[in-house]
Structure 1
């Protein structure tokens, strides 16, 4: 039985807002908050006219990354997502608008599915406002993919060096192409390997997000708790350092007269005593190879909440990389040299972007009203699925902890709380299609991560599929479920057999269609969809993951049910139960 660990927090729903308020109040000379979302932290002396804007970001829980690197000479802004979850597109856009000085904005972030989708959508949104935004993904984690698939690697502590170089290049006045090229040179020259000795604890639940028996270690652990490439007995500091450095030395081909920068990074609960012992061994090995250590950083620079463990990052330097690394910067988490800050550049004033898209108004009398699923029944169905997700939150997170970052249940809970806040508002929409539009916005804005864009697209597509209906009959309910599946596939690109939520939604839609040919009862179609989704989720247990964070696990992803498929089954079961009860009444 897992032991619940207490955290110094207030209400779990207020974690990120209070984190941001705490950072800004602790560093008032460096930081302020900009934008409607309240999630974009901006440098007081960073953005300026004519400079490429640098925006770094990702989920919270990695402090001091990412907002700790906002300041003159480094990042101009950082949007903060939920714990271990990407920021949403509007949160990223708030940071992008604040960082824009007319020379374009470069987004830099780790290579994770949710970040890629959300930052990509933000770039599209900024383009509509006439601002060029490009993305650069960091891929320094050796453990997450082989060298011939280097573009699939995760970005972990190596973010530190890539962000520093890009920020310096931008501060020196280089144009977008040159800043992006500098980031690429830094990324190509940077490699990281990490080790975990114990799990991290999700502050919302007090529960560990994965299990690692005492006396064992996980080599190659990701910064969200994703399993690594090897698990075995814990070893001495020197033996662990040798393990972590071996692939780094090989890939960077380090030898006599080479110069490097070293980062020995704590993951949240590792003492400086231990980190310095690790660095001591790094220095010995570099000396044996006649490799010069130009600069070292030892401490917590990219954490994983309170995970026990550490990572070692090496950047192989050339003249330019060394110069960019030495370039002055002044941020809450990193100061290099004496950064002479220019006059503050005020954030670009943008029109307030409503968190709800404009609803399409329709005359209710023009909509088809046959069918038992009225807008009121639909609301009851959504409430039932929300309650089911709340009940299953910890189980879904535990499923995710086995192959991912352990937050899927929490993420879905956040999304459904946002949905119900919209649907329970005094001005809630009168049609199912309009409800779906609000639900799409709620998921996209509240969740970020990969679930935000996926369910945002799902509800938007499903709502459009029934836009001519006031009530849903069996055929339109089936079309609505098909729309959910189609929207998820269109946004994420996963296919059946990839071990994702598609392996539940696809069978659900197919089964509902098949049942419709036999029965015109909406409850029958809903039950068929729910049963097929549950069976599809179970089948993911033996699948090899081809998408998302669990793809990095290879064969180790087998034997575990995909949490996204399971949460889909939970929702479909809740809807089916409401409709079955309605039929009986």
Structure 2
């Protein structure tokens, strides 16, 4: 078991790893990269963005280096939004990148198809469109192991990002308009297939523990890029046997025949060196030759990693004349250089991007003042939630490591730490204002799926009680219901999907029952805790139908959903503060 295993990393403070890594990257590539924006999470090509060119913004969680910032430079991505380890960048990180590359021709957002990335990049695209900037949000779906043929839209994005990003960047560099870049990107994605294998777990810097258990003689076939379990677990086999299985999965999903041409990527996941990767390429090349398929070009090395995980993935891009032309176009980035003459750098006009309007003043005298939960007490309840998440951080991450990527506790703690800081810095006068402050803090700090989900939740919860200064029992129940409604409106999950909603929905139901029975604030909160616990425990009995664990099927049975567990933790903390 992982409980007694501690991993070693060359880091300073875990909370400083991202800004320090960005600083190191910029110092290593001062000729190519710079950072822009207030968040300091947008890495921008020094000579990439220009007027009249579609801005290409890639992004995702850290820990996959050189993806994503390694592909920023002339002829490829104009900028990358950098998230925390294994967590999507937030909309504000993404918007810093978008503002830095807006050349007046629109923005193309590209990322792997994971829930957190989809939510955050979609929110950024919505914000761009609200500012009058045409934008497209596009998730790469190359992983054949994560959903069957016919359900390609549900697939994860893994190392196939490499090819799709290259094609999109080349199309933009060639001067194609936004529709043209979208068409080239879609064609590349439709013709890219990947499958991977893990030999060992990786560990998050914040926990120092392997994020899943795997025997010394076992492998995980079809694993995800964040260490999510794959299609099956089996015994360690030879390089040829593993490659044959990976290629069978890929070739069974794409039409390739004699005379076709492909590009090949054999990608190491962080701890598998070139010696082994060339063995995989050797077997893959022989399999393609036996089918009469020609290899146009191969890349072998680390292009999209998973921290220090041992393992590899194989990706094929089926080529036509246009895709080959775009693939061969020159580019210069820290992680990929394709030789050729690059056009002279153009100029970029700094545009006036409208900022969000400031919140309106509230007439406190017009608000209902009955009820025991004052804004000050509500602030204490929020801080108690922050403390509880911190205390349970490692447990929540361990739950997530079994069926997800092992970062739920870490990302929730990052969000609540930001909330704690913001509440200390501002003296908001109403529960609604405090809730809005919590929403923005969560959204700006977290990224991942938790960021936009809980930002929407806190925002909706605050709106539910906007007519009140103090909260009575009915208002407390309305606030909890707002959490549930906000999460569902943003994420779309329903009861039975094995998500946080499985805790929040019964929490609301039990709280309403207590209210109808004449319960006071504490009684309603205690009822919500019972409902959340019942829902949390129920998630262990059902298969996951949404998020990263949805790929596991029956393998998710017997394991509690970490989002449902954190919902229960928060409600317990709220109740404890209300009773104090």
Determine the structure 1 residue equivalent to 2:577. Answer: 578
Determine the structure 2 residue equivalent to 1:187. Answer: 189
Q: Is contact 1:194–1:312 with CA below 8 Å preserved after alignment?
A: yes
Determine the structure 1 residue equivalent to 2:428. Answer: 429
Deviation, 1:578, is: 1.9
Q: Distance in 2 between matches of 1:29 and 1:210?
A: 40
Paired residues in the alignment total 578
Deviation, 1:474, is: 1.0
Determine the structure 2 residue equivalent to 1:522. Answer: 521
Q: Distance in 1 between matches of 2:453 and 2:437?
A: 15
Deviation, 1:350, is: 4.1
What pairs up with 1:163-242 in 2 under 5 angstroms?
163-242=165-244
1:183-242 Cα offsets, whole Å, 9 max, x none, are 111111111000000001101121111111111000000001111001010101110000
What pairs up with 1:113-512 in 2 under 5 angstroms?
113-346=115-348, 348-350=350-352, 353=355, 358-425=358-425, 427-512=426-511
Deviation larger for 123-132 or 260-269: 123-132
1:501-550 Cα offsets, whole Å, 9 max, x none, are 11111111111110012234211111010111011100011112111111
Provide the secondary structure at the position in 1 that maps to 2:139. strand
Determine the structure 2 residue equivalent to 1:552. Answer: 551
Q: Is contact 2:329–2:340 with CA below 8 Å preserved after alignment?
A: no
Deviation, 1:91, is: 1.1
Provide the secondary structure at the position in 1 that maps to 2:486. helix
Q: Distance in 1 between matches of 2:122 and 2:555?
A: 30
Is 1:31 matched with 2:33?
Answer: yes
1:243-295 Cα offsets, whole Å, 9 max, x none, are 00012122223222221111000001111111111111112222222221110
Q: Is contact 1:44–1:344 with CA below 8 Å preserved after alignment?
A: no
Q: Is contact 1:12–1:204 with CA below 8 Å preserved after alignment?
A: yes
Q: Is contact 2:145–2:249 with CA below 8 Å preserved after alignment?
A: no
Provide the secondary structure at the position in 2 that maps to 1:477. helix
Q: Distance in 2 between matches of 1:550 and 1:338?
A: 43
Q: Is contact 1:16–1:82 with CA below 8 Å preserved after alignment?
A: yes
Q: Distance in 1 between matches of 2:541 and 2:367?
A: 45
TM-score, scaled to structure 1: 0.97
Deviation larger for 185-194 or 367-376: 367-376
Q: Is contact 1:106–1:134 with CA below 8 Å preserved after alignment?
A: yes
Determine the structure 2 residue equivalent to 1:563. Answer: 562
- Backbone CA RMSD of aligned residues: 1.4
Q: Is contact 1:72–1:341 with CA below 8 Å preserved after alignment?
A: no
Deviation, 1:341, is: 4.7
Deviation, 1:82, is: 0.9
Deviation, 1:359, is: 3.3
Provide the secondary structure at the position in 2 that maps to 1:293. strand
1:4-32 Cα offsets, whole Å, 9 max, x none, are 11211112222211111111111111111
Is 1:76 matched with 2:78?
Answer: yes
Q: Is contact 1:68–1:331 with CA below 8 Å preserved after alignment?
A: yes
Structure 1 gaps, min length 5: none
Provide the secondary structure at the position in 1 that maps to 2:494. coil
Q: Distance in 2 between matches of 1:465 and 1:291?
A: 60
Structure 2 gaps, min length 5: none
Deviation, 1:580, is: 2.6
Q: Distance in 2 between matches of 1:204 and 1:180?
A: 37
Provide the secondary structure at the position in 2 that maps to 1:198. coil
1:122-152 Cα offsets, whole Å, 9 max, x none, are 1111112211011221110000000111111
Q: Distance in 1 between matches of 2:281 and 2:86?
A: 27
Deviation, 1:446, is: 0.4
Provide the secondary structure at the position in 1 that maps to 2:296. strand
Q: Distance in 2 between matches of 1:319 and 1:32?
A: 34
Q: Distance in 1 between matches of 2:350 and 2:38?
A: 13
Provide the secondary structure at the position in 2 that maps to 1:265. strand
TM-score, scaled to structure 2: 0.97
Q: Distance in 1 between matches of 2:254 and 2:473?
A: 60
Q: Is contact 2:44–2:72 with CA below 8 Å preserved after alignment?
A: yes
Q: Is contact 2:522–2:579 with CA below 8 Å preserved after alignment?
A: yes
Q: Distance in 1 between matches of 2:419 and 2:234?
A: 43
Provide the secondary structure at the position in 1 that maps to 2:392. helix
Deviation, 1:575, is: 1.0
CA pair 33-88 structure 1, distance change in 2 beyond 3 A: same
CA pair 339-435 structure 1, distance change in 2 beyond 3 A: farther
Q: Distance in 1 between matches of 2:225 and 2:346?
A: 34
